[in-house]
Amino acid sequence: MNPQPASIGREVDPASVFIVVPSYNEGKVVRNTLMPLLMAGYSVVLVDDCSTDQTKQAVADLGIHYLRHPINLGQGAALQTGMTYALQQGADYIVHFDADGQHNFRDIDSLLAPILAGEADVTTGTRFQRKEDIRAVPASRRVLLKAAVLVNGLLTGMWMTDAHNGFRAFSRSAAQAIRITENRMAHATEILSLIRQAHLRLTEVPVHITYSEYSWAKGQSSLNSFHILIDLILRKIL
């Protein structure tokens, strides 16, 4: 793979786009995930959420911003750590990007396009607008994701086609307007609530998610997703 520099617009320096990558025990794949981002010219912030594998050694020679939690806090906390740091470093745009290789760096241009055009403050990826993207989602996961759309819509008032897609982009002002407090996987629903509360403009953008044997094994189980759902409902009631 020989990525070309990002083509997000002549007026935008790719280095001003900070890609926040939360990572926990992704040492086997994280280097391959980060390399295309670096070759495209983006600024990469890897937030190592107290991994116990060889993550740090795998990226030691890469020109990234490496942050590490001294204890495991969860993906939501890792994203907030990365966003806070990116803003401190002067990021104009922030993108959430998974460490396990599911996301395609080529989709970043598409995610940023509505923001650059002044049509949105935040964009999220969706697996459910193009037939080829839908076909790539395992059948059992489609059912779970559609259920999540219903739950998120009822809890947040934000009706999406793909409510739990972790591929997101923010303008600087949008990133400054939200603060994630849900440390673990319930942060995906919280982000939607924060976007609505801040009156930010949100647009979904078609993206392709790659489900490898590795990423499928690392993904959220149905039982864990059920626990997230119960937690969200209780927080809403209490």
In a domain, 2, yes or no: no
Say if residue 223's pLDDT is above 50: no
pLDDT tens column, 151-195: 778 888 889 899 789 999 999 999 999 999 988 768 888 999 999
Contacts of 65 (CB under 8 A, 6+ apart): 18, 43, 44, 45, 46, 85, 89
For residue 221, the model assigns a pLDDT of 46
Q: Which domain holds residue 101?
A: 14-237
Q: What separation, in Å, do the N-terminal and C-terminal C-alpha atoms of the chain show?
A: 50
DSSP states along 117-173: TTS-SEEEEESSSSHHHHHHS-HHHHHHHHHHHHHHHHHHS---S-TT---EEEEHH
- What is the rounded average pLDDT of the residues 123-143? 84
Say if residue 201's pLDDT is above 90: yes
Q: What are the phi and psi torsion angles at 126 (to 5°)?
A: -135, 140
- Structurally, the chain folds into a number of domains equal to 1
In a domain, 8, yes or no: no
- What is the rounded average pLDDT of the residues 207-216? 80
Q: How far is CA 215 from the centre of its chain?
A: 15
For residue 235, the model assigns a pLDDT of 55
How many C-beta atoms surround the C-beta of residue 82 within 10 A?
A: 26
In a domain, 4, yes or no: no
Token output for 207: 């993206």
Phi-psi region of 63 (alpha: psi -120 to 50; beta: other; left: phi over 0): beta
Dist CA 39 CA 23 (whole Å): 20
pLDDT tens column, 65-110: 999 999 999 999 999 999 999 999 999 999 999 999 999 999 999 9
More confident residue, 144 or 233: 144
List the CATH number of the domain containing 175. 3.90.550.10
In a domain, 71, yes or no: yes
In a domain, 227, yes or no: yes
In a domain, 9, yes or no: no
For residue 145, the model assigns a pLDDT of 76
Instruction: Tell me if 112 sits within 8 A of 128, measured CB to CB.
Output: no
Say if residue 60's pLDDT is above 70: yes
Q: What are the phi and psi torsion angles at 95 (to 5°)?
A: -125, 135
DSSP states along 28-58: TTHHHHHHHHHHTT-EEEEEE-S-SSSHHHH
In a domain, 1, yes or no: no
- 């598409």: which residue's tokens? 110
Instruction: Tell me if 96 sits within 8 A of 30, measured CB to CB.
Output: no
Dist CA 9 CA 15 (whole Å): 12
Percent of the chain with pLDDT over 90: 64
